[in-house]
Copies of this chain bind each other. A is one copy, B any other.
Amino acid sequence: MTTWQHIDDDQCRRFASSVELIGKRWSSGILLAIAQGATRFSEITASVTGLSDRLAAQRLKELERDLLIERQVIPTTPVQVRYVVTQRGQDLLDSLQPLVGWGQKYGTPAAN
């Protein structure tokens, strides 16, 4: 959980949580994919290269639980499901923008 509470305590615990929200594999990719218009489950898995159905379902549940996306079920036949980014999720994406800038300023060195 990365608390390092001897240093800043409160602010840092929140930060660690935030990082872990989108730090998990695929999470940020999925969130961005939805933000860019991939609303359907199959669209999402297709948009995010390498993402399997299993992980997609898992991450979508997590993102929904974290209130970053919303799941909307449309009772047609067969049933349709749409995913949309919440305001909270959009704000997160926005706050991630500087990080994108950082990645562009410095070329990714070795990428872990």
A79 proximal to B (CB < 8 A) = no
Please report which residues of chain A, range 1-59, place their CB below 8 angstroms from some CB of chain B when the two chains form the complex: 1-8, 11-26, 28-29, 32-33, 36, 38, 46-51
Query: How many chain copies?
Result: 2
Q: Which DSSP category, helix, strand, loop or mixed, fits chain A's interface?
A: helix
A74 proximal to B (CB < 8 A) = no
Closest residue on chain B to residue A97 by CB atoms:
B98
Please report which residues of chain A, range 80-112, place their CB below 8 angstroms from some CB of chain B when the two chains form the complex: 88, 91-92, 94-112
Q: Are A29 and B50 in contact (CB under 8 A)?
A: no
Rounded to whole angstroms, the CA-CA distance of A2 and B29 in the bound complex is 6
Rounded to whole angstroms, the CA-CA distance of A80 and B24 in the bound complex is 35
A70 to chain B, nearest CB (A): 13
